[in-house]
Structure 1
Amino acid sequence: MSHIIEGFEGDKCILEVDGKTRNIPRDQVDAGVKVGDVVEWNGSKWVADAEATRQRTEHIRKLMDAVWEEDE
C-alpha cells in the first residue's frame, strides 16, 4: 500500500492512501518530506521512502512519454 504526500495546508499534511486522502498533523511528517514523495510510517513519523519515490517518478515519466508519443 503506497502512501503519497499530496500537499500541505497550514498545520495539516494531505496523505493519499489507495486513492483516498486523509489529513494528518504536519508534525507527524519528517521535515524533509515534499509533495509527491512516497512515505512510510517509522513508528513516530512519516518519512520519505527514496527508492519507492524514485520508482513512482520513473513510472509516471514513462506513462507521460507514452502519451506524448501517441500524439505525434
Structure 2
Amino acid sequence: MGGGENSMRKGVVDSFEDNGELVVIELEDKTTIAVPKDKFICEVHVNDVVYETESGMWQVDREETKSKLEEVQNLMDELWEKEE
C-alpha cells in the first residue's frame, strides 16, 4: 500500500493574499490552493517551487527553484536575441 508520494503536494508560489498571511500555490495539476504562511518552514517568495513535507509543513525546493529561474532566463534571452 505505501504510495506516500501522493500526499506530498508540489507547486509554484503564485501570489500572496490576506496581507501576506496566505500563500497561493499553483499545484502541478494547475489547481490553486491557499496555505497559511505559518505552514512554511522558511521564507517564501513568488515563483518559488515548494512542496509539502510528510509533517504537513511546506518547504522551498531551492534546487528546482534555481533551475526554473535559469530556464525562464534562457527563454527570455532567446526572445531578445530573435528581436535584434
Which category describes the TM-score, using the shorter chain as reference length? 0.7 to 0.9
Matches within 5 A, 1:1-72: 2-10=10-18, 11-18=21-28, 19-42=30-53, 43-72=55-84
CA–CA separation in structure 2 for the residues paired with 1:60 and 1:15: 18
TM-score by length of 1: 0.83
Percent identity over paired residues: 31
**If you compute each CA radius of gyration, which structure gives the higher value, 1 or 2?**
2
**Per residue, is there more strand in 1 or in 2?**
1
Structure 2: 5+ residue stretches without partners? 1-8
RMSD in angstroms over aligned alpha carbons? 1.7
Q: Is the 8 A contact 2:44 2:60 kept in 1?
A: yes
TM-score by length of 2: 0.73
Aligned residues: 72
CA shift digits 1:31-52 (9 cap, x unpaired): 4111111011112311111100
Structure 1: 5+ residue stretches without partners? none
